[in-house]
Amino acid sequence: MLDSILKSIVDDNVLHAKWLNTLSYMENAGAKKISASEHKEHVNLIILKHAAEEHRHAYYLKKQISKLDEALCKTYTNAELLSPNHTKYYLHALDISVCRYLKSEFNLSGYDLKFAAYLFVTYAIEVRADELYPVYQAILVEAKSKVNVKSIILEEEGHLEEMINQLVGFSDDWENHAAEVIKIEKALFDNWVEALNAELLISA
């Protein structure tokens, strides 16, 4: 379904601009979440790199919009996003559900819970990014679009590797917990795609 949704989005400049803006919004929200989960003092190079790159993705996607139409999607108001309510709910709900899961499994609180949530939420988002961006890029190539997200794909692959390295250090049993977190993410993502599809049907 995602494939056909993305094809109809890329075919329409206004929808495509909103799609880029929606991805930009999510990247920006992700970057802010990474920074918000930082320890007051124990901040390493990996965390700084990751936050910087997610901020760059938000900026880069926003910049791509001008290749379609300079006048479109200047800000992140609801009218400039696709399925704004579901888009905002996806990240928020993922965070809440994963925190609840980690709290009950590891009995964590305070900064430790924040850090564990950073590890697992970001991991799930990176797995998703590694699936979504290549599908989108292939459709861009096929449509001969001026937009491209190749530099993002490269960095997201690096992020996934970095998150796995950190998860290995966090728990010997990280893979089982990560599988549970992926299940939570998948349900929310499917919900989001469903909402996008419904919105496209209305606007068609």
Residues interacting with Fe ion, by CB under 5 A?
27, 54, 57, 156, 159
Which is closer to Fe ion, CB of 27 or CB of 185?
27
User: Rounded to the nearest whole angstrom, what is the least distance from the CB of residue 190 to Fe ion in the complex?
Assistant: 20
Q: Are 21 and 81 in contact (CB under 8 A)?
A: yes
User: Rounded to the nearest whole angstrom, what is the least distance from the CB of residue 156 to Fe ion in the complex?
Assistant: 5
Q: What element of type H or E holds 162?
A: helix 150-170
- DSSP single-letter state for residue 41: S
User: Rounded to the nearest whole angstrom, what is the least distance from the CB of residue 198 to Fe ion in the complex?
Assistant: 26
Instruction: Give me 157's structure tokens.
Output: 């692959």
User: Rounded to the nearest whole angstrom, what is the least distance from the CB of residue 107 to Fe ion in the complex?
Assistant: 28
How many whole angstroms from its chain centre is CA 96? 16
Cα separation, 104 vs 194, in Å, equals 30
Q: Are 76 and 38 in contact (CB under 8 A)?
A: no
Place of tokens 């709900």: 93
Cα separation, 98 vs 118, in Å, equals 10
User: Rounded to the nearest whole angstrom, what is the least distance from the CB of residue 28 to Fe ion in the complex?
Assistant: 10
Which is closer to Fe ion, CB of 46 or CB of 138?
46
Q: Are 144 and 151 in contact (CB under 8 A)?
A: no
Which is closer to Fe ion, CB of 46 or CB of 198?
46
Which is closer to Fe ion, CB of 172 or CB of 182?
182
Cα separation, 123 vs 171, in Å, equals 14
Which is closer to Fe ion, CB of 8 or CB of 137?
137
User: Rounded to the nearest whole angstrom, what is the least distance from the CB of residue 150 to Fe ion in the complex?
Assistant: 13
Which is closer to Fe ion, CB of 54 or CB of 185?
54
